[in-house]
Chain A
Amino acid sequence: MIRRPLRPLARILRARLTGEDPDKIEAEARAARMRSLRAAEKRRAELRLWLLAAVFLAAFASVGGKMFMLATTEAVEPVASVNTSPIVNQRADIVDRNGAILATNLVTASLYANPQDMIDRVAAAEGLAQIFPDLSAADLLRQFSGTRKFIWVRRKMSPEQQQAVYDLGEPGLQFGPRELRLYPNGAFAAHILGGTSFGREGVHAAEVIGTAGVELAFDTYLRDPANEGAPLRLSLDMPVQSALEQVLAGGMALMNARAASAVLMEADTGRIVAMASLPDFDPNHRPLPPSSGDPADSPLFNRAAQGRYELGSTFKIFTAAQAMESGFATPETIIDTSGPLSWGRFRIRDFRNYGPRLSLMDVMVHSSNIGTARLAAAMGTEAQQGFFGALGMLEPLTLELPESVSSNPSTPARWSELSTMTISYGHGLAATPVHLAAAYASLVNGGLRVRPSLLMNSPVPSEADRIVSPQTSANIREMLRAVVVRGTASLGEVEGYEVGGKTGTADKPNPQGGYYEDRVIATFAGAFPMSNPRYVLIVTLDEPVDTTGTEPRRTAGWTSVPVGAEIIRRIAPLLGMRPNRTELAPVVMASQ
């Protein structure tokens, strides 16, 4: 800034020449300088005020703006971190022992209608009736024309059907997401899987709850988010189960049976590898329980784990085991089989007369009722009850199926000496085929009681579960093998797999009292390979009759045993078991 002098020399000199007072000039300059200084100060003060005003304005504006933002936007919870928990399905999958999927979820949609939003009700009703053949256009139109503002049309549908509904272009039809429980294998293992239905239902979600089978037994586990979607691993083996179902269905048709069931169990652990009950159903469309008639005739009825039957001569081996374990007899002990054996008005007969006496081994091989009954009577009722109890034949199954709670074997109201005799050959005590499988497994695996299970991680029996000695178990294996080699189950021989087993043909009880003459439950209880049993197989046919011969044959040896043998023939290779034989034909690859 150029500083002007207060007494500019040029003006002073000119004033002096004219005789004016030079001090006036100085005063004038001083006043001008003061003015300019004051003006500058005022400007600065104003600027400060403006600045202050601007700052306050900005502050109030930002506060006001924030308040406006808060007032006009939706409240959002402040988050410090993003949820990183894994996304899991509402319901865990069910897989077989190798991880093949038995039950899974599929996200589909439910369909509901808001008739007040509809553009063309007639077209919508007709379009829907075309997409879903089970709906009628007239019914839908009546519903859409009523006063209701919300109508469920479908609980679940396939993605294709959803697309078809989209293509109708009707704004009054709305979708809500639904998780659909899918059993990709259809009727496969239906009684084990059970089924599901919707629980509490809303527009945006619906609970899927188990209604039967393992779906119900493990409902809490399957729905527990803490498992992070870990699948439920069953002990079933899909190829084996499938082959078993196929062969059993074929056998049931060939033997003209009303129904059939089969259980394949690991002899050492009691884990069920395959279990089938025919007729069966598709768990994707689980039928409603029958409202009339015998529930045991429904396809929903699990004959293997729910149906209690008198299983006939398959029980005889229990009496033999009891006798050998208690030291009462050895396989060579001679038993009096002269008959008929009379007890009051009751007479016990054999299928044929096997002569006056047989060794215990031959009593089993020929399946002599008289011999077994005499042996059981000699050992007494209490001993029999004790042994059957130890085998688990007197208590309900501990199987992981809700249906099995009603599997408590039915025993005679008064366990008399006659009951002891009839039970020894399988009449008077009704148990499920799974009971029988577990008892056979316990007897042939070296004598450790197994508990049937459908889970891969079920506990393995220990020495604390011993019911018979290894020696008794070995004798039983020998007897069961002899029954197949030269006894009633001779059709059960499968080359290379050393099948052993026992047949049982039991007359069906008549609901009117007594027993039917020509209706039987034919059972084959077997194990293989007999030198070191790995699997126990129970095949039960309901009212089979083999009509290939000159006269109808109903005994298990002609009906269940061939079916059982065919099952073993099919599944043993699937289980990875090499046939035990030395005369295997060498495979020729090179030609000379």
Chain B
Amino acid sequence: MKSVLYLCALALVLIFATWAYQVNYRTKSEMDHVSQLQREIAHERQILAVLRAEWAYLNRPERLRALVEMNFADLRLMPLHADHFAKISDVAMPRPPMPDDIDGLISGLVDTAAREAEESEGQP
């Protein structure tokens, strides 16, 4: 009976010792992992800072202005002007439904295109 008790106690000691050993090592490896992650985060942050700096550099007003001037033919971007503000009430209601016959449709489209071309030319 006694020896059975001893055996049980020994087994328990072994089990707990193994458990403690494993927990200890798991903790250490987790700590290593955390510090490695932190190193990675620091690295990523550094990269992020570089990207942000580059983004800011690419978006500097001087460069954007030069790009706008270079691409003026395509984009026709002008400085924001007081005329660009409008009221919702100034916007016309949607046009009435399209005429059913094909002739009316085509002439309507041609009119719109002509007017738009005229307007864009009229702009300074």
Contacts and interface: CB of A to CB of B under 8 A. Distances in A.
Q: For chain A, give the interface size range.
A: 35 or more
A186 B115 CA distance: 43
Nearest to A590: B95
Interface stretch (A166-174, A237-245, A321-329, A517-525): A237-245
Interface in A540-592: 569-570, 572-574, 578-579, 584-592
Contact of B85 (A243, A579, A590): A579
Given A82-B38, A587-B91, A186 B60 contact: yes
Nearest to B60: A185
A243 B80 CA distance: 11
A162 interface: no
Interface residues of B, number: 38
Contact of A188 (B34, B38, B61): B61
Interface of B: 31, 34-35, 38, 41-42, 45-46, 49-50, 52-53, 56-57, 59-62, 65, 79-87, 90-95, 108, 111-112, 115
A496 B45 contact: no
A82 B34 contact: yes
Contact of A107 (B50, B80, B108): B50
A82 B33 CA distance: 10
A243 B79 contact: yes
A590 B49 contact: no
A587 B93 CA distance: 11
Given A186-B62, A246-B65, A574-B80, A589 B87 contact: no
B49 A104 contact: yes
B90 to A, nearest CB: 4
Nearest to B108: A591
A589 B85 CA distance: 15
Interface in A72-105: 79, 82-84, 87, 89, 100-101, 104-105
Contacts of A579: 82-83, 85
A569 B84 CA distance: 12
A182 B53 contact: yes
A290 interface: no
A107 B80 CA distance: 37
A106 B49 contact: yes
A228 to B, nearest CB: 12
A495 B85 CA distance: 13
Contacts of B61: 185, 188, 238-239, 242, 246
Contacts of B57: 182, 184
